[in-house]
Structure 1
Amino acid sequence: MAFGNLLKPEAVKVVMSVTSKKRLLQEIGDLVQSAHGVHAGLVTEALIAREALGPTGVGHGVALPHARLDGIDHVMGVFVLLDKPVDFDAVDRQPVDIAFGLFAPEEAGVEHLKALALVSRTLRDTSVCTKLRANPDASTLYAILNEAKPAKAA
């Protein structure tokens, strides 16, 4: 699986002035609606429900909010870079400025897990995150993500 299968150029956004985790999840919902045509309210509700199970802030300023959605037929993603980090209840208690939202059909099995692993491995690479943070342009961010070579799973 490659980022090109998960992410399209219009699903990448630099967001200004988000002040809370909830507002970031709403921004992700809005981006999913504009890029993939899935109702923003449904996406945001699914993300909030998933966060209630445990925070998806994985550390080092990165969050991987994800959910299963009715009405989609393939795994899809959106990428958000924040101009200012927000508290996300991350495992390391550090604020988040990089968020990759990942969405799968309700019945998705291994494809959802493969996509989550790809995104996780890629965004654990500090050099990739450094490049992302240094380039607040959506088309450049898209290119960086598509060119990234994630480390192989152990």
Structure 2
Amino acid sequence: MMTTKEVRLADYLQEECILCDVDADSRDKAIDQLVGVLHRQLGGFDRAEAVSAVLERERQAPTVLAEGLALPHARLAGLAKPSLALATSHSGIDFEAVGEEPVHVIVLILTPKDDPGAYLRLMASLSKTLAAPHMIKRLSVAGDTREAFGILTEGPEKVEIRLNASSIMNSNPVTLDEGDTLAHAIQAFCSNRIMDIPIVDSDGDLRGVIALEDLLGQSLPQHLLWMEDLSPIENFEPFAELLRKDSETKVADFMHDKYVAIAPDVPAIQLAKIFLMQRIRQIQVVDGRRFLGSVNLDGFSSQIFWA
């Protein structure tokens, strides 16, 4: 069954928890002020613990989801219900996300530790609401809290949220093209600290996947794998041979087409079963052959257990 729930943002956000043109010149100060206003209005949690949890989450992976928008969040033990706080900044705040512009709209999400679906539903609802054209700009220049509250809660009273693959996938993962070289692949693996990379062609179709194991397989041919003792190979000579040709070897020479692909409307809970039953690290989300995004086991687990 599809996981479905109607979300009404006004049920989680009070007008008093909105800070227009917040007086903060850094990510940490903005988050501290947002946690502070929620603590004053609602209570029910330890402020210092909440600030620490949100900042730790940001240091691990910045939550800048779109141009000018950040959704910092944390799950707290003992919190009675999910709560939101909103801050806007005319000049923008550096959220320390590499390659991203300053953030003008920040929505803090605090959810109970024992309700993993709450964060996912609120994030999906906010992403859907704030994806409308000019929404970030409208919020960032709102003159007062009432105006900002009205902008965020206008439209349908309730939004139906279906937690499916498209809700939790990374829609902008690292990808490669079949014509890219081994040198490109090595750089992508190492600089991004990832283990699997989808291969997508110029039409946006998924062509295959490469994994770190594929690089090892190119270096160690089958006859070496049958050897019981590899100690005579002291200086990784097979790897050196591969690296000498890294600018000539194409990704197409070692990618594989044995991957798991699902449609974007597959229920999110189904992905847990796929990861467990098929013992894989990455699931591709496709519409036909058109590549939409990926779900990695570590990212999926983080959203369920840590958010």
What TM-score do the two structures reach when normalised by structure 1? 0.88
1:36 aligns with 2:42: yes
Report the Cα distance in structure 2 between the residues aligned to 1:35 and 1:81, rounded to whole angstroms: 18
Q: 8 Å contact 1:64–1:120 — kept in the other structure?
A: no
Report % sequence identity: 23
1:12 aligns with 2:18: yes
The equivalent of 1:145 in structure 2 is 152
Offset, 1:62? 0.6
Q: Determine helix, strand or coil for the equivalent of 1:10.
A: strand
Distance 1:34 1:55, change over 3 A: same
Distance 1:9 1:93, change over 3 A: same
Q: 8 Å contact 1:57–1:91 — kept in the other structure?
A: no
Q: Determine helix, strand or coil for the equivalent of 1:8.
A: strand
How do residues 5-154 of structure 1 correspond to structure 2 at under 5 angstroms?
5-37=11-43, 38-90=45-97, 92-148=99-155
Q: Determine helix, strand or coil for the equivalent of 1:103.
A: strand
Query: Greater helix percent: which structure?
Result: 1
**Deviations for 1:69-117, whole angstroms, at most 9, x for unmatched residues?**
1221211111111232111133651001110000110101222211111
Structure with larger RCO (C-alpha < 8 A, sep 6+): 1
Report the Cα distance in structure 2 between the residues aligned to 1:104 and 1:91, rounded to whole angstroms: 27
Offset, 1:138? 0.5
Aligned residues: 154
Q: 8 Å contact 2:69–2:103 — kept in the other structure?
A: yes
Q: 8 Å contact 1:32–1:43 — kept in the other structure?
A: no
5+ residue gaps in structure 1?
none
Runs of 4+ in 1 over 6 A off after TM superposition: 150-154
Q: 8 Å contact 1:6–1:76 — kept in the other structure?
A: yes
Q: Determine helix, strand or coil for the equivalent of 1:11.
A: strand
Task: State the Cα RMSD in Å.
Answer: 2.1
- Which has the larger Rg? 2
Report the Cα distance in structure 2 between the residues aligned to 1:138 and 1:18, rounded to whole angstroms: 17
Report the Cα distance in structure 1 between the residues aligned to 2:75 and 2:134, rounded to whole angstroms: 30
Report the Cα distance in structure 2 between the residues aligned to 1:76 and 1:126, rounded to whole angstroms: 25
Report the Cα distance in structure 1 between the residues aligned to 2:120 and 2:107, rounded to whole angstroms: 14
Report the Cα distance in structure 1 between the residues aligned to 2:55 and 2:47, rounded to whole angstroms: 12
Offset, 1:42? 2.0
